[in-house]
Structure 1
Amino acid sequence: MLDGPHPQVPADLAQRAAEHGGRLLRRRRFARRLVLLAAFAAVVAFMVWAVTTQPWQVPPSETTPPDSW
Protein backbone atom coordinates (compact mmCIF):
# COMPACT_ATOMS: atom_id res chain seq x y z
CA MET A 1 0.00 0.00 0.00
CA LEU A 2 2.79 2.42 0.85
CA ASP A 3 4.86 1.31 -2.13
CA GLY A 4 2.28 2.60 -4.62
CA PRO A 5 2.21 6.00 -6.28
CA HIS A 6 1.72 8.93 -3.93
CA PRO A 7 -0.96 11.50 -4.78
CA GLN A 8 0.09 15.03 -5.61
CA VAL A 9 -0.30 17.51 -2.78
CA PRO A 10 -1.47 20.99 -3.80
CA ALA A 11 1.31 23.55 -3.59
CA ASP A 12 -0.80 25.99 -1.57
CA LEU A 13 -2.09 23.42 0.93
CA ALA A 14 -0.19 24.87 3.90
CA GLN A 15 -1.32 28.41 3.09
CA ARG A 16 -4.96 27.33 2.79
CA ALA A 17 -4.74 25.40 6.06
CA ALA A 18 -3.25 28.43 7.82
CA GLU A 19 -5.99 30.70 6.46
CA HIS A 20 -8.67 28.23 7.55
CA GLY A 21 -7.15 28.01 11.03
CA GLY A 22 -7.01 31.79 11.24
CA ARG A 23 -10.68 32.05 10.31
CA LEU A 24 -11.59 29.49 12.98
CA LEU A 25 -9.62 31.38 15.62
CA ARG A 26 -11.24 34.70 14.68
CA ARG A 27 -14.72 33.13 14.84
CA ARG A 28 -14.05 31.58 18.23
CA ARG A 29 -12.61 34.83 19.56
CA PHE A 30 -15.65 36.75 18.28
CA ALA A 31 -18.04 34.20 19.82
CA ARG A 32 -16.22 34.33 23.15
CA ARG A 33 -16.33 38.14 23.20
CA LEU A 34 -20.01 38.09 22.29
CA VAL A 35 -20.81 35.70 25.16
CA LEU A 36 -18.77 37.78 27.61
CA LEU A 37 -20.50 40.95 26.45
CA ALA A 38 -23.92 39.32 26.89
CA ALA A 39 -22.97 38.09 30.37
CA PHE A 40 -21.72 41.56 31.33
CA ALA A 41 -24.94 43.13 30.03
CA ALA A 42 -26.98 40.63 32.06
CA VAL A 43 -25.04 41.44 35.23
CA VAL A 44 -25.48 45.18 34.67
CA ALA A 45 -29.21 44.73 34.01
CA PHE A 46 -29.57 42.67 37.19
CA MET A 47 -27.70 45.28 39.23
CA VAL A 48 -29.88 48.10 37.89
CA TRP A 49 -33.02 46.08 38.66
CA ALA A 50 -31.80 45.24 42.15
CA VAL A 51 -30.92 48.84 42.96
CA THR A 52 -34.23 50.21 41.69
CA THR A 53 -36.59 47.63 43.25
CA GLN A 54 -34.53 46.77 46.36
CA PRO A 55 -35.92 43.23 46.77
CA TRP A 56 -34.09 42.74 50.06
CA GLN A 57 -36.34 45.22 51.88
CA VAL A 58 -39.53 44.11 53.61
CA PRO A 59 -42.55 45.31 51.66
CA PRO A 60 -44.87 47.73 53.44
CA SER A 61 -47.78 46.12 55.19
CA GLU A 62 -51.08 46.25 53.35
CA THR A 63 -53.29 46.36 56.46
CA THR A 64 -53.40 48.85 59.25
CA PRO A 65 -53.27 47.79 62.89
CA PRO A 66 -56.61 47.72 64.74
CA ASP A 67 -57.71 50.75 66.68
CA SER A 68 -57.20 50.33 70.40
CA TRP A 69 -59.74 52.60 72.08
Structure 2
Amino acid sequence: MRRQDQKEDQVRRMLDVPHPQVPADLAERAAERGGRMLRRRRALRALVMFVLCAAVVAFTVWVVIAEPWQVPSTETTPPLDGP
Protein backbone atom coordinates (compact mmCIF):
# COMPACT_ATOMS: atom_id res chain seq x y z
CA MET A 1 0.00 0.00 0.00
CA ARG A 2 1.30 3.44 -0.88
CA ARG A 3 1.97 6.02 1.80
CA GLN A 4 -0.77 8.32 0.47
CA ASP A 5 -3.29 5.46 0.62
CA GLN A 6 -2.31 4.80 4.23
CA LYS A 7 -2.89 8.44 5.12
CA GLU A 8 -6.26 8.46 3.40
CA ASP A 9 -7.26 5.33 5.29
CA GLN A 10 -6.22 6.91 8.58
CA VAL A 11 -8.25 10.04 7.83
CA ARG A 12 -11.30 7.97 6.85
CA ARG A 13 -11.05 5.97 10.08
CA MET A 14 -10.80 9.18 12.11
CA LEU A 15 -13.87 10.63 10.37
CA ASP A 16 -15.94 7.46 10.78
CA VAL A 17 -16.10 7.73 14.58
CA PRO A 18 -18.82 9.87 16.17
CA HIS A 19 -17.81 13.48 16.65
CA PRO A 20 -17.40 14.76 20.20
CA GLN A 21 -19.90 17.24 21.64
CA VAL A 22 -18.88 20.89 21.45
CA PRO A 23 -19.24 22.82 24.72
CA ALA A 24 -22.12 25.29 24.69
CA ASP A 25 -19.98 28.21 25.85
CA LEU A 26 -17.20 27.61 23.34
CA ALA A 27 -17.98 30.75 21.30
CA GLU A 28 -18.04 32.94 24.43
CA ARG A 29 -14.72 31.56 25.66
CA ALA A 30 -13.17 32.02 22.22
CA ALA A 31 -14.41 35.63 22.05
CA GLU A 32 -13.04 36.36 25.54
CA ARG A 33 -9.69 34.84 24.66
CA GLY A 34 -9.56 36.79 21.40
CA GLY A 35 -10.34 40.00 23.29
CA ARG A 36 -7.55 39.32 25.76
CA MET A 37 -5.12 38.64 22.92
CA LEU A 38 -6.10 41.91 21.21
CA ARG A 39 -5.69 43.90 24.44
CA ARG A 40 -2.26 42.36 25.05
CA ARG A 41 -1.21 43.03 21.48
CA ARG A 42 -2.36 46.66 21.72
CA ALA A 43 -0.58 47.13 25.05
CA LEU A 44 2.63 45.65 23.66
CA ARG A 45 2.39 47.87 20.56
CA ALA A 46 1.86 50.93 22.78
CA LEU A 47 4.85 49.97 24.94
CA VAL A 48 7.08 49.51 21.89
CA MET A 49 5.98 52.87 20.50
CA PHE A 50 6.66 54.55 23.86
CA VAL A 51 10.15 53.03 24.08
CA LEU A 52 10.85 54.02 20.47
CA CYS A 53 9.74 57.61 21.09
CA ALA A 54 11.78 57.77 24.31
CA ALA A 55 14.85 56.54 22.40
CA VAL A 56 14.34 59.19 19.71
CA VAL A 57 14.00 61.92 22.34
CA ALA A 58 17.09 60.69 24.21
CA PHE A 59 19.11 60.57 20.98
CA THR A 60 17.95 64.07 20.04
CA VAL A 61 18.91 65.46 23.46
CA TRP A 62 22.32 63.79 23.24
CA VAL A 63 22.91 65.21 19.75
CA VAL A 64 21.98 68.72 20.87
CA ILE A 65 24.22 68.57 23.94
CA ALA A 66 27.22 66.67 22.57
CA GLU A 67 27.25 68.10 19.03
CA PRO A 68 29.14 65.09 17.63
CA TRP A 69 29.50 66.68 14.18
CA GLN A 70 31.98 69.27 15.45
CA VAL A 71 35.69 68.56 15.32
CA PRO A 72 37.19 68.15 18.80
CA SER A 73 39.61 70.80 19.98
CA THR A 74 43.27 70.27 19.14
CA GLU A 75 44.47 71.21 22.59
CA THR A 76 44.73 68.03 24.57
CA THR A 77 46.97 69.28 27.36
CA PRO A 78 46.82 72.46 29.35
CA PRO A 79 49.44 75.11 28.53
CA LEU A 80 52.63 75.01 30.60
CA ASP A 81 53.01 78.09 32.75
CA GLY A 82 56.13 77.48 34.73
CA PRO A 83 58.53 79.54 36.80
Q: Shorter-chain TM-score: which interval? A: 0.7 to 0.9
CA RMSD of aligned residues (A): 1.4
**Match for 2:70 among 38, 41, 57?**
57
**TM-score, normalised to structure 2's length?**
0.69
Q: Which residue of 1 aligns with 2:29?
A: 16
Q: Size of the alignment, in residue pairs?
A: 63
**TM-score, normalised to structure 1's length?**
0.81
Structure 1 CA distance for aligned equivalents of residues 62 and 40 of structure 2: 33
Larger-Rg structure? 2
Structure 1 counterpart SS, 2:49: helix
Misfit runs of 4+, over 4 Å: none
Gaps of at least 5 residues in structure 2 are 1-12, 77-83
1:5 Cα deviation from its structure 2 partner:
2.5
Gaps of at least 5 residues in structure 1 are 64-69
Structure richer in helix, relative to its length: 2
Counterpart residue type for residue 36 of structure 2 = R
